[in-house]
Amino acid sequence: MTKFDCLIVDDEPDIRELLELTLSRMGLSTASTGTLSEARNELSSHSFRLCLTDMRLPDGDGIELVEHISEKWPEMPVAVITAHGNMELAIKALKNGAFDFISKPVDLKVLRNLVETALKLPGIDENSQGLKKHPAEKPETPELFGSSTAIEAIRKMTTKLARSQAPVHISGESGTGKELAARMIHAQGPRSDHPFVAVNCGAIPQELMESEFFGHVKGSFTGAIADKSGLFQVANHGTLFLDEIADLPMIMQVKLLRAIQEKSIRPIGGTSEKAIDVRIISATHKDLHKLVDDGLFRQDLYYRINVIELDLPALREHPEDLPGLIDFCLDKICRKNAISRPEIDQEAMQVLINHHYPGNVRELENILEGAVALHDDGKIMPNNLKLNRTGYSNILEENQDLSLETRIEHFEKEIIEAALNQHRWNKADVAEFLGISLRQLRYKISKLGLDKRSESSKL
């Protein structure tokens, strides 16, 4: 069976010729065809490492070919070529298993980046034009802890998502490990040798957002004393993780959408577009679909970033992982602080297992960090565990005449105050722990009257 690097499928001879010439200059061998049926014949007769296919073919469409290859040769990446601006078809192809897409007229630099990235996928042999039996070793992959069915399903999904360049949106409550899941996808994919850049969208002041994302040139505004690369440029060829994307103001949502669709950015004060090659992974603990319905998040951006959704389970949804997770977190904390690991009293362990963990794994880690700092005689006791156990049950029992709105406000106040005390009033850490922006936290502290307590708490 003859082996080729790439199968090119397009009914326009000029496009086929352009693609063949570009790939041959990269040292790659190609075979080309103009119809869906001929492409299927080529695939059954020869071996390929990659397929580039137009979306519109005389006897079918590119999505049919994507599905055919995904079923028969799941290790082979397929990239689709779409008409300029036809994002709906591109997104549909990604949902059906396409590795990535490129728009016409084909930008040759974007094409080369796409092909190079595709051929770096684990299992693709750069030398023999076949599949490796023993993929090259990669740096250690970040790992979600747990052996429950829920966690195993997340692991399998991150491995599958690593073989695509489709935008992924990770949903889940605060503290469930959304950034860790994003890092797992990056580390297992062809971009693992390039940067993983994480940004909390709610932590950037609105007036600095455009500069932070797209960079600026010297002299473009007061204070721009030198050229600055934005996050897209820093993450070039790698992954840009947009955490708490729901906190982006509407004007930045428009600019982000354009950057993702055009695969290019223009720094503030710049006179030309700069091509960027990044994979977008986003996350939030909020309900993006509801925000779209409420007019607070752009629908077109929602569909662009939410091509594939990965929903992380809350800790209470896989309680069987809790005992092992407690040991794992305790070991990590003690290694980080270079101290010997204390034992956990049996009653203290039961308290930890019975706790509800509204803050999920992050809350568990914070509780254990506090317990390690407070324990005596090499053993963590129940009184070393600073859990917020007053909660809503006391509000319901002790305040029978309160309205729902007042009960919720009381509950919110208790949660925020407990988090502030737990993090020694470090507002940036508290905002991250609660999964809200720093601006939102400051507003709530003022609204709930907690700012009046802040000075006395530091005495």
Q: For the residues 296-314, what does the mean pLDDT come to?
A: 94
Q: What is the pLDDT of residue 124?
A: 65
Of the given ranges (130-139, 243-252, 384-393), which has the lowest mean pLDDT?
130-139
Pick from 214, 330, 332: nearest CA to 270:
214
Last residue in a domain, options 280, 311, 342 = 311
Whether the per-residue pLDDT at 134 is higher than 50: the answer is no
Whether the per-residue pLDDT at 232 is higher than 50: the answer is yes
Q: Are residues 284 and 321 in the same domain?
A: no
Last residue in a domain, options 73, 95, 118 = 118
Whether the per-residue pLDDT at 454 is higher than 70: the answer is no
pLDDT tens for 170-214 read 999 988 999 999 999 999 999 999 999 999 998 898 889 999 999
Residue 142 lies in a domain: no
Q: Are residues 290 and 177 in the same domain?
A: yes
Q: For the residues 133-151, what does the mean pLDDT come to?
A: 71
Q: Are residues 296 and 386 in the same domain?
A: no
- Listing from the earlier edge strand, what are the strands of the sheet with 168-171? 196-200, 239-243, 279-284, 168-171, 308-311
Predicted structure pTM score: 0.78
Q: What is the pLDDT of residue 85?
A: 64
Whether the per-residue pLDDT at 397 is higher than 50: the answer is no
Cis peptide before 105 (omega within 30 of 0): yes
Whether the per-residue pLDDT at 399 is higher than 70: the answer is no
H or E element, residue 241: strand 239-243
CA atoms within 13 A on the CB side of 286: 20
Whether the per-residue pLDDT at 433 is higher than 70: the answer is yes
Q: Are residues 269 and 385 in the same domain?
A: no
Residue 126 lies in a domain: no
Q: Are residues 154 and 298 in the same domain?
A: yes
Task: Tell me if residue 336 falls in helix, strand or coil.
Answer: helix
Whether the per-residue pLDDT at 427 is higher than 50: the answer is yes
3-9 and 30-33 strand pairing: parallel
Q: For the residues 311-335, what does the mean pLDDT come to?
A: 93
Provide the token pair at 180.
């860790």
Q: Are residues 192 and 341 in the same domain?
A: no
> How much of the chain, in percent, has pLDDT values that exceed 90?
59
Residue 445 lies in a domain: yes
Q: Is 449 left (phi over 0), alpha (psi -120 to 50) or beta?
A: left
Q: What CATH number did the domain enclosing 386 receive?
A: 1.10.8.60
Q: For the residues 32-37, what does the mean pLDDT come to?
A: 95
Whether the per-residue pLDDT at 107 is higher than 70: the answer is yes
Q: Are residues 212 and 263 in the same domain?
A: yes
Whether the per-residue pLDDT at 122 is higher than 80: the answer is no
Q: What CATH number did the domain enclosing 231 receive?
A: 3.40.50.300
Residue 372 lies in a domain: yes
- Residue 111's pLDDT band (boundaries 50, 70, 90)? very high
Q: What is the pLDDT of residue 265?
A: 93
Q: Are residues 174 and 195 in the same domain?
A: yes
H or E element, residue 17: helix 13-25
Q: For the residues 146-166, what does the mean pLDDT come to?
A: 93
Q: What is the pLDDT of residue 221?
A: 85
Whether the per-residue pLDDT at 448 is higher than 80: the answer is yes
Q: What is the pLDDT of residue 459?
A: 36
Last residue in a domain, options 70, 95, 118 = 118
Q: Are residues 216 and 279 in the same domain?
A: yes
Q: For the residues 406-428, what does the mean pLDDT come to?
A: 77
Q: What is the pLDDT of residue 412?
A: 80
Residue 243 lies in a domain: yes
Q: Output 351 or 451, whichever has higher pLDDT.
A: 351
pLDDT tens for 211-227 read 999 999 988 888 888 99
Residue 128 lies in a domain: no
pLDDT tens for 51-64 read 999 999 999 889 99
Number of structural domains in the chain = 3
Q: What is the pLDDT of residue 123?
A: 67
Q: Are residues 203 and 99 in the same domain?
A: no
Q: Are residues 247 and 338 in the same domain?
A: no
Pick from 280, 211, 215: nearest CA to 242:
280
Q: What is the pLDDT of residue 359?
A: 87
* Distance, CA of 377 to CA of 379 (rounded, Å): 6
Q: Are residues 102 and 203 in the same domain?
A: no
Q: What CATH number did the domain enclosing 66 receive?
A: 3.40.50.2300
Q: What is the pLDDT of residue 413?
A: 81
- Average pLDDT in the chain: 87
- Domain region containing 21: 3-118
Chain mean position to CA 115: 22
Task: Give the CA distances from residue 233 to residues 2, 229, 331, in Å, rounded to whole numbers and listed in that order.
Answer: 40, 6, 37
